[in-house]
Each structure stands twice: as C-alpha cells, then as structure tokens.
C-alpha cells in the first residue's frame, strides 16, 4: 500500500455528525458489542429510566474499502477494517481504521478529502446505509480520555440503535471518492435493528434488556449480501438479485 498522506485530525463524537477538525485526532480503545433487536422500545425505556436520553438521530453512509488487488478483512485475513464515512449527506468525509478482536475495539479516525482518500491505494468493496439513534452517558469521561488515554472510561456508555441497515453494491473499479458519491444499488435490508453498546467496561449494563450477542456485523452482512446470502447474518428483505 502507498504511504498514507497527512490527514486533518478530528475530535469529538466518537461516531457523530457535525464534528469539526481540530488539533487532536480521535484514537480510542473500548469495548463494543452488537445485538439484533426488534422495535427497540424496551431498550429506549430502560435508557430513559436511567436518565439517558436520545441525543440525536441521523443518517450514516459507510463505504468499506480494502487494499487494491487484495482481499483482507472481507475474507477473514485481517482484523484491520478500512472505511469512509459520511453523515446526513454532509460534505465532510471521515476515514477510519478499525479493529475488533473479541469485542475489544481500537479505532482511529481522520477527516479526509476526496483527493486524499483516492491516494491511499484502497478499492471500494460495498456500501452500508442506515439511520442511527444515539444515546450517551459520561461524555466528559470520553473527552478526558481523548486528552489523556490514561484516564478511565468506566463511566462512559454509548448506545446506538441502527434502523434500516441496507447493503448496496458499488462499482469496484471506481476510485473511492467516486464510489462514495455514486451511492450504490440496494441489495438487501435488515428486518431487525442493530443495537451497539460501546463502553470502557468489559460487562454489559445489567439493567439494559438484551438478547444473545450477535456474532455478525454490518460489514459482514453487506459482504454476504454481495454473495446473495444476507440471511446468513440477519433476516433480510432482498432488494436485488446479486450479480453472478
């Protein structure tokens, strides 16, 4: 892969729209666990009972990428996942590198321009879109952690509920910036919602009603949709027959 160019650092909201470039990058180590749920009403009620209200709802578009000419995370050969993310059709794009090993997540994110993303030697794989509802407690703890990673994240809890998770086929021959703008052709959409629990602790909140943990992810679901088998990860509405 070509050397990574200098990218404008970002701050704030671990996964939120409206972030503004600043002098500090986002780099975080945390626990992350996913679950498939139905309406999400029991979870919203439990969060509200703890005084954790919904902060915002917004659209997310994520283009997943791999090194050009290689298959890595999409075939289980690497834990490093590359993705380009956009919120609410804003003009700001975020490039992220993320690993998830047994629920322990490391993520680095930078604001990036179309020209910069096209210089990284990555190729488009698949796009995922959804609407996200965001809840958070202990935002100050996260801010303190980003200033000094030795600070504890024990008081921080972030819960997101994703609705309408849809996998879209994108032209792999396009540069990433063009593939991001193109959007893609819908292939499959999840019937369930996805709730993600992000915390500095290794245990889930006992007061939050959760089913068995989902072994899948939105990216795995999207790759399965490329092969015509999205139901291997989650019940789906099929929107288009996959190309052979």
pLDDT of residue 8 exceeding 80, the answer is: no
Percent share of the chain, pLDDT over 70: 71
How far is C-alpha 78 from the geometric centre of its chain's CA atoms?
Answer: 17
Does residue 3 fall inside a structural domain?
Answer: no
Q: What is the domain extent for residue 207?
A: 8-238
Does residue 194 fall inside a structural domain?
Answer: yes
| Per-residue pLDDT tens over the stretch 60-83 | 999 999 887 666 666 565 668 899
pLDDT value at position 225? 95
pLDDT value at position 13? 42
Q: What integer is the mean pLDDT of 157-183?
A: 94
Does residue 243 fall inside a structural domain?
Answer: no
Mean pLDDT of the chain: 81
pLDDT of residue 195 exceeding 90, the answer is: yes
Residue 72 or 13, more confident: 72
Q: What is the DSSP string of 35-90?
A: EEESS-HHHHHHHHHTT--EEEEEEEEEEEEEETT---GGGTS-SEEEEEEEETT-
CATH of the domain at 188: 2.40.320.10
Does residue 165 fall inside a structural domain?
Answer: yes
pLDDT value at position 196? 95
pLDDT of residue 16 exceeding 70, the answer is: no
Q: Residue 206 contacts by C-beta under 8 Å, 6 or more apart in sequence?
A: none
The residue whose two tokens read 């500090």 is: 24
Does residue 1 fall inside a structural domain?
Answer: no
Question: Number of structural domains, the chain?
Answer: 1
Q: What integer is the mean pLDDT of 25-54?
A: 86
Three-state secondary-structure class, residue 139 = helix
Does residue 122 fall inside a structural domain?
Answer: yes
Would you report the helix, strand and coil content of the chain in percent, each value rounded to 5?
Answer: 20, 40, 40
Q: What integer is the mean pLDDT of 194-206?
A: 86
């Amino acid at each position: 892969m070509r050397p990574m160019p200098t990218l404008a650092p970002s701050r704030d909201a671990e996964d939120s729209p409206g972030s503004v470039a600043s002098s500090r990058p986002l780099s975080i180590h945390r626990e992350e666990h996913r679950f498939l749920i139905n309406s999400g009403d029991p979870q919203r009620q439990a969060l509200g009972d703890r005084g954790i209200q919904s902060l915002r709802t917004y659209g997310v578009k994520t283009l997943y990428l791999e090194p050009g000419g290689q298959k890595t995370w999409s075939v289980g050969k690497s834990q490093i996942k590359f993705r380009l993310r956009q919120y609410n059709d804003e003009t700001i794009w975020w490039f992220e590198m993320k690993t998830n090993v047994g629920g322990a997540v490391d993520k680095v994110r930078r604001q990036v321009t179309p020209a910069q993303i096209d210089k990284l030697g990555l190729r488009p794989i698949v796009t995922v879109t959804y609407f996200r509802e965001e809840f958070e407690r202990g935002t100050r703890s996260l801010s303190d952690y980003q200033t000094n990673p030795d600070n504890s994240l024990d008081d921080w809890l972030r819960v997101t509920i994703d609705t309408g998770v849809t996998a879209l086929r994108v032209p792999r021959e396009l540069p990433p910036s063009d593939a991001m703008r193109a959007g893609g052709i819908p292939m499959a959409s999840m019937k369930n919602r996805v709730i993600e629990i992000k915390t500095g602790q290794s245990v889930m909140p006992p007061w939050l009603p959760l089913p068995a943990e989902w072994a899948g992810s939105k990216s795995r679901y999207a790759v399965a949709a490329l092969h015509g088998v999205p139901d291997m990860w989650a019940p789906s509405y099929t929107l288009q027959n996959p190309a052979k």
